[in-house]
Amino acid sequence: MQRPSKRVTKYVFGIAFVLVLLALSVGLISLLSGADADKPLSAEAQATLRERYPLALPAPFTGISYHLATYAIESKVSTCNAHIVAEVIEVLPDGIQHLDLSNGRQPPATSGPEYEIWKQTNFLSFTLTTRRVRVLDIFYQGDGHDPMPMGAEIAVGQEIVVSALDMAACYDPIPVMVPGTRLVMGLVMPPDDADWGKGLDYTFTASGLYYVVDGDHVLSAIEEYAPEIYSGLPLTQFKTLLLEARAVSGK
């Protein structure tokens, strides 16, 4: 049998050498990418991302005094029925939510300036920011401040409609909730099984809403205050913190 020429042998070894180098390069790139994904984002990287994911700012609020509560992770996970990663797939028309603060008190008049002042301080209306999202991951689900309603369980891949109850009242509408946006959100469900399926089944707030940005890191949708600062953390680390806080809450 004729043996391969030296030229052919060198050619084959050359190709093999190139393939080995290519495999090593791909492995090194993957290793470095993985290392970067495990590190928090730098302040410079976060500032650059803020151009695409700006903070929602507290809205000017007149007529009544409003105390803005800062985000507390332990309080949030004990209140919410679920924490999920979701991708926005459809922008739905905004709705209107009415809030009656009168507790049955009667107005001092039925018309005129006194009545208008009373109405402004006892009845609030604000816009509901509503989106259809696809569930990408579920950190946990179960009882929160109220028990989880029957039939409320969600699954990865499921499409659900989520509504922000207080975003328009307390914050300017968050500008980046367009199709393709990924978010970490805590969901609250109706406390009464009888209310399930009548709308507002899954609600969230601007507080505790985090964008999932390039490289699977989180970036808060509102300004954070020490010690509750999580922007820039890898998504996996943020998930661990949420689950640890959930365990501490006893849920």
Domain shared by 123 and 187, yes or no: yes
Domain shared by 153 and 236, yes or no: yes
Domain shared by 143 and 156, yes or no: yes
Query: From CA 50, how far away is CA 217, in angstroms rounded?
Result: 13
Domain shared by 87 and 133, yes or no: yes
Domain shared by 66 and 2, yes or no: no
Query: From CA 25, how far away is CA 48, in angstroms rounded?
Result: 29
Q: What is the pLDDT of residue 123?
A: 74
Query: From CA 72, how far away is CA 98, in angstroms rounded?
Result: 26
Domain shared by 31 and 76, yes or no: no
Query: From CA 175, how far away is CA 178, in angstroms rounded?
Result: 8
Question: What's the pTM value of the predicted model, to 2 decimals?
Answer: 0.75
Domain shared by 52 and 31, yes or no: no
The number of folded domains in the chain is 2
Domain shared by 31 and 100, yes or no: no
> Which residue's entry shows tokens 């950190």?
139
Q: Tens place of pLDDT for every residue, the chain, 251 residues? A: 555 555 545 554 556 554 444 444 444 344 344 445 689 999 999 999 999 999 987 766 544 444 445 568 888 899 999 999 999 999 998 877 776 777 777 777 777 888 888 877 777 777 788 999 999 999 999 999 888 888 889 999 999 999 987 666 677 777 889 999 999 999 999 877 666 666 678 999 888 899 999 889 999 998 888 889 999 999 999 999 999 999 998 87
Q: What is the pLDDT of residue 97?
A: 72
Domain shared by 61 and 99, yes or no: yes
Q: What is the pLDDT of residue 225?
A: 87
Q: What is the pLDDT of residue 48?
A: 96
Domain shared by 130 and 158, yes or no: yes
Domain shared by 85 and 29, yes or no: no
Domain shared by 23 and 6, yes or no: yes
Output the domain CATH number for residue 212.
Answer: 2.40.50.120
Q: Are strands 202-204 and 182-187 parallel, antiparallel or unpaired?
A: unpaired
Note down the domain range covering 28: 1-37
